Structure 1
Amino acid sequence: MSKKIQLTLACGDYEIVRPLKEGIVQPDGIELTVLTGMDSTTRHWRFLRNRDFDMAETSASSYIVARDNGYPINALPVFLHRRFRHGFVYINTTKGITRPTDLIGRKVGLKSFLVTAGHWMRGILEHEYGVPHRSIEWVTELDEDVDFTPPPDLRTTRLPHDRSVEAMLADGELDALIHSSLIKPLVSKDPRVARLFPDYKAEEIRYFGKTGIFPIMHVLGIKNEVLERYPWVAVNMFNAFNEAKAIAMKRMENPRIVPLAWYREAWEEQQEVLGPDPWEYGLTDRNRHALATLAGYSYEQGLIRRPMSPDDLFVPVTQGRKRGDEFRI
């Protein structure tokens, strides 16, 4: 009986990783322990700070800064979480904010400065709506996944432990908030809180139509010591993630598995707007464009010391031209 190496993978409990978690897909030569019991911020911090796991889904923006600072990690071009972000910019309704440029000179909250949702939106606001990120006073709540020195002209303040950006937005102590999730005041229909973009879906579709970017939130981090000892793990895990995603997407085509009345219509709309595989892995042209844009924001905002390309950030997972598509003995 052949012996497999044992590796840990920490990630979200997603449909596209279910086949890996349940053992339906087994990476060649690897016995995988999949950990899905953590929230994103905990998982990112534990992997980037402590390297608690052999592999982990982790914040794309924090990973870029970690690489620039020489952390002993690399990444596979596997993107388990993507999300458009226009719908996660919240405003206090008493502050007279009706358009993006009204944020100039305001006080805007973030959970942390490196959170990828905020990082994407800072860049989008600057390049698509004329709101320079240095024109805003940023207020953060959590400690960062990776320590960094802010540029001298970047105005940031971190809150004490007993304060939250969500409460401060509702109370009017913040003018706006960029968040990675739906916030409680919005869910509870607090009249003091609204979205900056009321028709955010239309804005997101317009943004995709212009840029071709479906923002990548997370990458798949892997410890350097794993790659040094078992360099073949990168390709085998990449193949396993692709297989798991293919199984999941096939399953999700069936509208009977989801308790939503118009689920199939939403599925077909996604294909019409975003194409047949908007969740594609690998350094495809579209993924390269998204990753280069995000890394460009990191350099532009003074978070990294040198420009970084997608090839600087990811382990090669090629098997050679035309290899791997058809099994031959």
Structure 2
Amino acid sequence: MSKKLSLTLACGDYEIIRPLKEGTVQPDGIELNILTAADSATRHWRFLRNEEFDIAECSASTYLVARDRGLPFRAIPVFLHRRFRHGFIFTNTGKGIVKPADLIGKKVGAKAYQVTAVLWLRGILEEHYGVPHTSVEWFTELDEDVDFNPPEGLRLSQIDQSKSIETMLAEGEIDALLHPDIIDPIIEKDPRVGRLFPNYKDEEIAYYNKTGIFPIMHVTGIRQELVEKYPWIVPNLYQAFEQSKALAMKRMRNPRLVPLAWYQEAWEEQEQLLGPDPWAYGLGEQNRNNLETLVGYSHAHNLISRKIPLEELFMDVSQGRKRGHFRT
């Protein structure tokens, strides 16, 4: 009996990896131990700081910083998490912030400065709404996944460990908050906290129609020593992720699976707005535009020293022209 290479993958518990998790899809020659319990911030820290996992879903923003610093990580163009971000700018409702320009000169919080969601939002606010990232005073809660020194002109402070950035927003200690998740005051309908864009879905659709970008949040990182020792795992893993997503999307077309009254309509609306595969992997034209925009924001905000070409950031997963295809 041939022995497979045993590797640990840490990622979110997504439908698109269900076939991998359940063993319906198995990467050729690889036995995956899949861990899904950790939240994103913890997983990224443990991967980039401690190298605890062989493969991990990883913050795209922090991966750029890690590669710029020459840290021992590579990635394949598998993007397990995307999310539009206009609905994740929260404000204290007593501060008179009704439009993006009102953020200028204000105190703005973030979970961490390097977080991909926050990088996208800073870039979008600067490019599309005229709010320079240096025009606000920044306050963060978590340590960064990769250490960095704030560049000259950036006002950035870390709050005391005893404080919560969400509580500070509700109590008016900060004026606004950019966050990767729906914050507790919104869930609890705290009247002191609202969204900068109450009609955020309309803003996100307009943004997509203008740019073609459905923001990539996470890449799939691999410890560099593994790809150097076993280069064959790169296309094998990529193919397995592709197969897993294809099977998951085929399964998800069944409206009986999800307890939503208008699930089918939501699926059809997504397809009409974003096309047949908005979760596409690889470095096709749309993903290149997506990632090059993020690289540009990272460089403009002095997180990375140069605009790193995508060919340096992602391993080549090709198996040759017209080769390596599969059928679901």
TM-score by length of structure 1 reads 0.98
Q: What's the counterpart of residue 3 of structure 2?
A: 3
2:164 counterpart of 1:160: no
> Within 5 Å, which residues of 2 pair with 1:107-186?
107-186=107-186
Distance in 1 of aligned mates of 2:126 and 2:18: 37
Q: What's the counterpart of residue 61 of structure 1?
A: 61
Distance in 2 of aligned mates of 1:43 and 1:59: 9
2:260 counterpart of 1:272: no
Residues 109-136 of structure 1 deviation map (CA, whole Å, 9 limit, x = unaligned): 0000001110000000000000000001
Task: Determine if contact 2:111/2:141 at 8 Å carries over to the other structure.
Answer: yes
C-alpha distance 257-165 of structure 1, shift in aligned 2 (>3 A): same
- Tell me the SS of whatever aligns to 1:96: coil
Q: What's the counterpart of residue 246 of structure 1?
A: 246
TM superposition shift of 1:264: 0.5
Q: What's the counterpart of residue 40 of structure 1?
A: 40
> Within 5 Å, which residues of 2 pair with 1:89-100?
89-100=89-100
TM superposition shift of 1:322: 1.1
Distance in 2 of aligned mates of 1:31 and 1:325: 21
The amino acid that maps onto 2:241 is F
Residues 13-67 of structure 1 deviation map (CA, whole Å, 9 limit, x = unaligned): 0000011011110100001100001000000000000110000001000000000
> Within 5 Å, which residues of 2 pair with 1:11-22?
11-22=11-22
TM superposition shift of 1:88: 0.4
The amino acid that maps onto 1:269 is E
- Tell me the SS of whatever aligns to 1:102: helix
The amino acid that maps onto 1:81 is H
Q: What's the counterpart of residue 301 of structure 2?
A: 301
Distance in 1 of aligned mates of 2:6 and 2:326: 28
Q: What's the counterpart of residue 325 of structure 1?
A: 325
TM superposition shift of 1:244: 0.2
Q: What's the counterpart of residue 315 of structure 2?
A: 315
Q: Which runs of 4+ in 1 moved over 4 A?
A: none
Distance in 2 of aligned mates of 1:19 and 1:239: 13
- Tell me the SS of whatever aligns to 1:298: helix
C-alpha distance 326-249 of structure 1, shift in aligned 2 (>3 A): closer
TM superposition shift of 1:326: 6.4
Q: What's the counterpart of residue 282 of structure 2?
A: 282
Distance in 2 of aligned mates of 1:11 and 1:326: 24
Distance in 1 of aligned mates of 2:279 and 2:49: 28
- Tell me the SS of whatever aligns to 2:249: helix
Distance in 1 of aligned mates of 2:106 and 2:221: 35
The amino acid that maps onto 1:137 is E
Distance in 2 of aligned mates of 1:107 and 1:264: 42
Distance in 1 of aligned mates of 2:4 and 2:187: 46
- Tell me the SS of whatever aligns to 1:308: coil
Distance in 1 of aligned mates of 2:237 and 2:324: 14
Distance in 1 of aligned mates of 2:115 and 2:306: 20
- Tell me the SS of whatever aligns to 2:236: helix
The amino acid that maps onto 1:177 is L
- Tell me the SS of whatever aligns to 1:304: coil
Distance in 2 of aligned mates of 1:48 and 1:20: 23
TM superposition shift of 1:325: 2.5
Q: Which moved more, 1:48-57 or 1:309-318?
A: 309-318
TM superposition shift of 1:312: 1.7
Distance in 1 of aligned mates of 2:305 and 2:149: 11
The amino acid that maps onto 1:78 is V
Q: What's the counterpart of residue 232 of structure 2?
A: 232
Distance in 2 of aligned mates of 1:26 and 1:302: 40
- Tell me the SS of whatever aligns to 1:109: strand
Q: What's the counterpart of residue 25 of structure 1?
A: 25
The amino acid that maps onto 2:163 is R
Distance in 2 of aligned mates of 1:136 and 1:85: 19
- Tell me the SS of whatever aligns to 1:113: coil
Distance in 2 of aligned mates of 1:187 and 1:200: 16
Task: Determine if contact 2:101/2:131 at 8 Å carries over to the other structure.
Answer: yes
> Within 5 Å, which residues of 2 pair with 1:207-222?
207-222=207-222
TM superposition shift of 1:319: 0.9
Q: Please give the root-mean-square deviation of Cα atoms over the aligned residues, in Å.
A: 0.8
